[in-house]
Amino acid sequence: MPKLSPTMEEGQLARWLKKEGDKVSMGEPLAEIDTDKATMEMQALSNGVLRKILINEGESAPLGQPIAIIGEPDEDISSLLKSFENKAAQAPAPVKAEQPEPAAPASESEPSAPLEQSPQAAPSSRDGGRQLISPIAARMAADAGISLSSLQGSGPGGRIVKRDIEAAMTEKPRAKAAPPVPLAALNRPAEKGAVYGPSAYRDEPVSEMRRTIAKRLVTSLGPVPHFFLTVEIDMERAADLRRSINELYPDAKLSVNDVIIKVTAAALIAHPKVNASFQDKTIRHYEHADIGVAVATDNGLITPVVRSADLKSLVEIAAEVRELAGRARARKLKPEEYTGASFSISNLGMFGIDEFTGVINPPEGAILAVGAMAPKPVVKDGSILVRQTMRVTMSCDHRVIDGATGAQFLQTFKQILENPLYLFLSQ
């Protein structure tokens, strides 16, 4: 298992691109590996024939563990296989994507583990009341919005496999979405005298990304001494700026978050002690503002980085964020595109969250949590007015940032957002 990202500790075999007996050349894509942040291609390290696959699709392996054997067509690999078998017998079993009950074997192009749905939600029996589906097919169906209950699997035992999803995606016309569930179905009275056991459930594998998120958060909130600063900002002028730019340049599609990124970068350059990270024996100060922007994906949170945001225009930032976010959701980011930020921003305002606190992503010194922009009555010059306001909370690493330093940064951040012409006067 190769190291395909800086923070990777193990990889999950998403898909073999070659099968046993295929010829391979050095540098040729051999498999797709799910790392902690993205799906990466693993390349062959030598010429020869793929003699043996040692881990199946959906299984995980730590860095350095053998996952396949490439050799000459007539080469004796029995001693190698025996050595690996002995090591495997002494080591813990590899982590599997699912824990299936015995079932008919899958085709070579599909992972071997079926995904179980809750018995109560499953359609007519495929295998003792359970619907069987391969992990690849499940992922493809979710991405395409295809209802599995409408499909009849063509794999062994009625299992839904990749070709079934591909066929459903090309059907003309596409099946209509299921109608909304009637309210009566959501409030069904309990049957008289009925006895209910524990709810049915299904276990989903923890992705490499989610495992890494869990490990990093444990190493953040405990060891890193957090403190929090909150400020409320009048967003009327920032909203007017965004509206005016989008009217002049409709293709810009500027968002409030793009404006926040640019203002954050300007405030970081004005307060270099905040644009820093703790490095055990030193505090590292960055010359430019590399802003990590939290993006929610199906597998967890990832923070693509807008490099040198202090040097880029609002329109450039908007285009870059859209492009990075799109590739983040498609798991196509390169490692250098989601590591090495000097400061991060997490915005949950689009979900109606007024205020929250973020957990610092080590070794960064701070993260800004952005709430919703909403109309609110405020007192201005002795009068009550309705203004667009927004609350932001900065989580600070006290080893790097003191309270007064963080407060001064937020004062500048608030001043620029409330008077965004500062952005243009400083250029």
On the CB side of 141, CA atoms within 13 Å amount to: 21
Q: Does residue 122 have a pLDDT over 50?
A: no
Using only C-alpha atoms, the chain has a radius of gyration, in whole angstroms, of 26
Q: Please, what's the b/e burial string for 73-97 (b: 16 or more CB within 10 A of its CB; e: otherwise)?
A: eeeeeeebeeebeeeeeeeeebbbb
Mean pLDDT across 363-383: 91
The whole-number pLDDT of residue 259 equals 95
What does each C-alpha distance from 109 to 17, 100, 105, 136 come to in angstroms? 9, 18, 11, 10
Decide: residue 9, CB within 10 A, 0-12 exposed, 13-18 middle, 19+ buried: middle
Among 148, 156, 152, 160, residue whose Cα is nearest residue 103: 156
CA distance 300 to 329: 10
CA distance 315 to 312: 8
More confident residue, 49 or 220: 49
pLDDT digits (tens, 9 = 90+) for 263-298: 999 999 999 999 998 887 888 999 999 999 999 887
In this structure, what is the dihedral angle of CA atoms 380, 383, 389, 393, given to the nearest 10 degrees?
60
The whole-number pLDDT of residue 59 equals 84
Residue in the block written with tokens 């490439």: 70
CA distance 143 to 309: 32
Mean pLDDT across 3-29: 86
pLDDT digits (tens, 9 = 90+) for 226-270: 899 999 999 999 999 999 999 998 888 999 999 999 999 999 999
CA distance 313 to 305: 16
CA distance 157 to 297: 33
pTM (predicted TM-score)? 0.57
The whole-number pLDDT of residue 270 equals 92
Catalytic residue selected from 226, 285, 288, 398: 398
Question: Quick check: is 398 catalytic?
Answer: yes
The whole-number pLDDT of residue 173 equals 44
Amino acid at 78: S
Angle at 373 between CA 224 and CA 364, to 5 degrees: 20
Domain ranges, ordered by start, for the chain: 10-90, 98-179, 208-425
Q: How many CB atoms lie within 10 A of CB 408?
A: 16
The whole-number pLDDT of residue 369 equals 96
Q: Does residue 213 have a pLDDT over 70?
A: no
Helices (H) and strands (E) in the chain, counts: 10, 18
pLDDT digits (tens, 9 = 90+) for 63-102: 888 999 999 988 888 888 888 877 776 665 544 444 333 3
pLDDT digits (tens, 9 = 90+) for 95-106: 444 433 333 333
Q: Please, what's the b/e burial string for 149-167 (b: 16 or more CB within 10 A of its CB; e: otherwise)?
A: eebebebbebbbbbebbee
The whole-number pLDDT of residue 265 equals 94
Residue 82 Ramachandran class (φ > 0 left, ψ -120 to 50 alpha, else beta) = alpha
The shares of helix, strand and coil residues in the chain, as percent rounded to the nearest 5, are 30, 25, 45
Question: Which phi and psi (to 5°) does residue 27 adopt?
Answer: 90, -5
Residue in the block written with tokens 């009327």: 236
Range 10-90 classified under CATH 2.70.240.10: no
What does each C-alpha distance from 279 to 148, 362, 365, 397 come to in angstroms? 49, 10, 10, 12
The whole-number pLDDT of residue 98 equals 41
More confident residue, 187 or 94: 187
208-425 to CATH, choices 3.50.50.60, 3.40.50.300, 3.30.559.10, 3.40.30.10: 3.30.559.10
Strand blocks (E) in 318-422: 343-347, 366-370, 374-380, 383-397
Contacts of residues 218-223 at CB distance under 8 Å and 24 or more positions apart, as own/partner, are 219/362, 220/359, 220/360, 220/361, 220/362, 221/359, 221/360
The whole-number pLDDT of residue 229 equals 96
Look up residue 349 and give its two tokens: 């305002």
The whole-number pLDDT of residue 182 equals 53
More confident residue, 247 or 176: 247
Amino acid at 57: E
Query: Which of 46-50, 171-175, 305-309, 361-365 shows the lowest per-residue confidence on average (mean pLDDT)?
Result: 171-175
User: Could you tell me what percent of the chain has a pLDDT over 70?
Assistant: 72
CA distance 222 to 207: 23
